[in-house]
Chains A and B, each alone.
Chain A
Amino acid sequence: MKKTFLFILLLSYCWHAKAQTYISQMSDDSSRIVALNEIIVNSIQKNPQHYLVRFFKANSAATLEDILSRLPEVSLIRRGSYGMEPSIRSFSGGQINVLVDGMRIHGACTDKMDPATIYIEPINLENLQVQTTASGFMSGSTIGGTVDMKMAEPDFLQNKKLTGIVSSGYQSAAKSFFESAKLNYSSNRWAFRASGTYRKSNNYRSGGGEEINFSQYEKLNYSLSAKFQQNNNTYIKADLLADDGWNIGYPALPMDVGLATARIASVSIHHSDFSKLIYKWQMKVYANKISHFMDDTKRPFVPIHMDMPGLSKTFGAFAEGEMKLNKKQRLSVRADGSSTYLSASMTMYQPGQLPMYMLTWPDNRKGQYGIAASWITEIDSTLKLQLTSRADIITYSLTSTAAKDQVSIFGYSSANRNDLLKNISTQLSKKITKKLKATGSISYSERMPTASELYGFYLFNNSDGFDYIGSPNLKKENSWQADASILYTKGRNRVQFNYFYSRLANYIMGKVDPTLSTMTIGANGVKSYINISKASISGFEASAFLKPTVDLDIVSTIRYTKGKDAEGNPLPFIAPFKNLTSLRYQPGIISIQLESETSLQQNKVSYLAGEDQTPAYFLLHTRLGYATSIRKSSVELQVGVENIFDKKYYEHLDWGNISRPGRNIYAQVKIGF
């Protein structure tokens, strides 16, 4: 039945494809690309956000999280100064996909301390793509969208065989520094790239001078990548990425991380030939292994010492291609599959007793097999239609007797799952005038409950103080989403406004189960994951990119989201209204930048989820850049002061209301040869 569905889905695209005519450019208005090295995937049209983002990447001291948080669609859930979890339009966790080069990477931490974003250093990153609504599910069923981080590739260089970059920086708030280096070597048909970044950060000081204990971290990230150019149209690439983090503090959690390691490997073949029907395709096989060891040995007053190791192993493959069906129609297709093994346990030690051991993620394996297609047609010179669809078969199974025994405690005889996820969207964009373009889309999407939501075993959530228990019988969460945007372009000035509304059904959340007793000492109670009938999330984003003179740029974004459940209670982790405005004056080799960050008070809070109100704040940052070249080397200097007024503040999505860094003076030097 499922196979038939998939087949029909594919067939329908092919049939539609024949009836239409040619378009020149594949466009996708719901994608945001952050081009960090001036390289942009050519299948996706540049839109105002590209300019906006290119603007922010100019500050090369920015971390990946800095860049992400400046995209109007993205907020970060913060548990410490490391490993912030991205949230797209207030969708997070299992509602979104976080991919590295199209690869699935599942965190090994039951407390989401290790989102895949931590494995990518800016030096490894080629671009960053945030997709919402209409095409957000192209690379994986999702109701919230996808963040895909494209890794930097080795470059074939004409004049030189060997190039490199060395950079070093210091930040005063955490007395932290980083060293990073990149080497690129190329011959006729081979190119190699190696990069490494080392970061060490101490406890930072918040506004007003208070030291935030357990906010330190140390990490080493390195990557190796080789590329072989088989012919003008085809190349083969192998990537290895490793990330080791240790002594990572999480001030908002009761435990830190002793060691977190990631090994990510892939081999891919890429082909492009614009004279062919399938003008571009790539295939990739990949595997990754994440291990994570939580640690409470440095914390004072620990009632009982515990170890909490977690392991995630994924292998998968995908193939994607783009087809030019005729002058007005293009089709992009993707097929992917992956298998993820997850296991996490907790062992507590009470002197004089046998250790207390349990599985927090009962050993389980998730299989995911999906196909997706997106078809774009130009109805006339001003009207464009895009249809996107994806189907996924998801399987979950418990893989050990111990896991099955544990899940049976709650009376579930079978905890295995087999589900079909369906996603479909349609988007229409119309050029009303030469300067004004309107886009509207409607989409339906489904997502699978996560391993924590299905099988989690007394997972303590420090945000609301409850132990969470998974429910293997959870229904799929689904969403109907409408999105409307207006883009106004005049010369080099661009203004865009986006409104979105999501109507969720079978929304998954924790509900207090008074019959269960807590496992964690001091917990407020136990919550079981349930489906609530409905919830809604809506909001808007706006961005303006203005260039009044050649050497002056003004960039401003605003965002606002609100969410409520079936009873009208606000949903948790919804960021309040926020505005970011930057002004950059760049008369020559020197650039001066002034940035403001304004967040309003959040008083629509979820008391059920243990939230409280978050006060408003206003921050001011200033940055100074200087770029020159000495002999054949380029030298770039960056200095700046963030949070000039040393404001003590935190954001609504920060766990535990832990204050963010206060005044931070940074300096960075980058030398390229």
Chain B
Amino acid sequence: MAVFPVRCIQAGMGMCQDVLIKNIQMKKIILSLAIVIAITFGLYSCSKDVIQEPDPTEGLIKLTEGYVPGAAVKMELYSKEGTINSGFSKFYIALYDSVTGNRVDDAAIQLMPMMDMGMMQHSAPYENPASSKADNHLFPCSVVFIMPSTAGSWTVKVNVKNLLNNKEGALTIPLTVTEPVKSKQKSFTATHNGGKYFISLIDPVAPKVGINDIEIAVYKKVSMMSWPADSSLSVTLTPEMPTMGHGSPNNVNPVHIGKGHYKGKVNFTMTGYWKLNLDFMEGTAVADSTQFFDIEF
């Protein structure tokens, strides 16, 4: 009954009020009528809810929001985890018109991560949204935080060009990056060319006993501000359970699938602590054979 007045107003405020004031005896009849109307409208709005598409940010956690000056949009930044760890971090950006509050699904977004260490600054690998059209109202993008915030402070400058009004502006977001218990970000200096490579473990996120997808991303540091994806290396994967001294069968070496991402299969024969050994080659030249990721589940 608590919702009755609200529903009543929704159903037709004037009629409801008039009848109630003029004739108290009619109160019960009107009340019943109003309930019927309210329920009908209630059901209508309910069924409308079902038709409505689900919230695109469901399952995501909002990290921050802010107005992008010049672009006339409000920006919301989401991720799946809610905290940011060093390594490959995937973000989802939602844009709204700062006046109407409507979604802005057409925008060119460019990222620029920056680590300020006081004495020096450097950037990091990143992936801008693949398209200026939002995917389910969101713009997925990624930044590879190659170190935690303990050494300095991380910011990500998000440049937004609102394609609905062709206005452009940028928002710089400060982010705190923590180091996870098991590192998902490694780097090495290649023995064959002296290049500095950064590798990130993207998958498995939720490892299980059985077949798992493994995905890593490889980047090469060209300068402090340039960290392009690298597809020149071949990867050999050797899972190992150091406590027991055994590996696992039928693994598939990750192969390049684009943008420096390499995808393969890793088998875990039991839960516990596993080491994913990764050897990198360029042609027949060994780039590095010391890298590994720890996984414990």
Binding site for B on A (CB under 8 A): 304, 346, 348, 350, 353-359, 402, 404-406, 408-411, 457-458, 515-519, 521
Contact = CB atoms under 8 A, between A and B. Distances in A.
Nearest to B208: A405
The 7 closest A-B pairs by CB, nearest first: A405-B210, A356-B272, A358-B270, A357-B271, A350-B243, A409-B267, A353-B273
Given A304-B243, A405-B209, A356 B249 contact: no
Interface string B227-244: 000000000000001011
Given A405-B208, A405-B210, A408-B210, A355 B271 contact: yes
Given A356-B272, A409-B267, A517-B249, 9 more contacts: A304-B243, A350-B243, A353-B296, A356-B244, A356-B270, A402-B209, A405-B208, A409-B250, A410-B250
A458 to B, nearest CB: 7
B246 interface: yes
B152 interface: no
B272 A350 contact: yes
A464 B65 CA distance: 65
Interface in B224-280: 241, 243-250, 267, 269-273
A354 B296 contact: yes
A411 B272 CA distance: 22
A519 B269 contact: yes
B295 to A, nearest CB: 10
Question: Among the interface residues B211, B248, B267, B272, which one has the most CB atoms of the partner chain A within 10 A?
Answer: B272
Contacts of B270: 346, 348, 356-358, 519
B272 A348 contact: yes
Chain A interface mostly helix, strand, loop or mixed?
loop
A628 to B, nearest CB: 62
B273 A358 contact: no
A346 B247 CA distance: 17
Nearest to B212: A405
B297 interface: yes
A356 B241 contact: yes
A408 B208 CA distance: 12
B210 A406 contact: yes
A569 B246 CA distance: 31
Nearest to A457: B269
Contacts of B272: 348, 350, 353-357
B204 to A, nearest CB: 12
Question: Among the interface residues A359, A409, A410, A521, which one has the most CB atoms of the partner chain B within 10 A?
Answer: A409
Nearest to B248: A409
Contact of B243 (A356, A358, A409, A410): A356
A346 B246 CA distance: 16
A548 B296 CA distance: 75
B245 A405 contact: no
Interface in B193-209: 208-209
Contact of A350 (B208, B211, B250, B273): B273
A18 B189 CA distance: 89
20 contacts: A304-B243, A304-B244, A348-B270, A350-B243, A350-B272, A350-B273, A353-B272, A356-B241, A356-B271, A358-B269, A358-B271, A404-B210, A406-B210, A408-B210, A408-B211, A409-B211, A517-B246, A517-B247, A518-B246, A521-B245
Contacts of A457: 269
A520 to B, nearest CB: 8
A354 B271 CA distance: 8
A400 to B, nearest CB: 11
Interface in B140-192: none
A515 B269 contact: no
A356 B249 CA distance: 17
Contacts of A402: 208-210
Contacts of A518: 246
Nearest to B211: A408
Given A354-B297, A405-B209, A406-B209, A458 B269 contact: yes
Contacts of A517: 246-249
Contacts of B246: 517-519
A342 to B, nearest CB: 18
A402 B269 CA distance: 11
B209 A353 contact: no
Contacts of A354: 271-273, 296-297
Contacts of A516: 249
A516 B267 CA distance: 12
Contacts of B209: 357-359, 402, 405-406
A402 B270 CA distance: 11
Contact of B249 (A304, A350, A358, A409): A409
A518 B269 CA distance: 11
Contacts of A358: 209, 269-271
A548 B116 CA distance: 107
A409 B210 contact: yes
B245 to A, nearest CB: 6
Contacts of A458: 269
Contacts of B248: 409, 517
Nearest to B271: A357
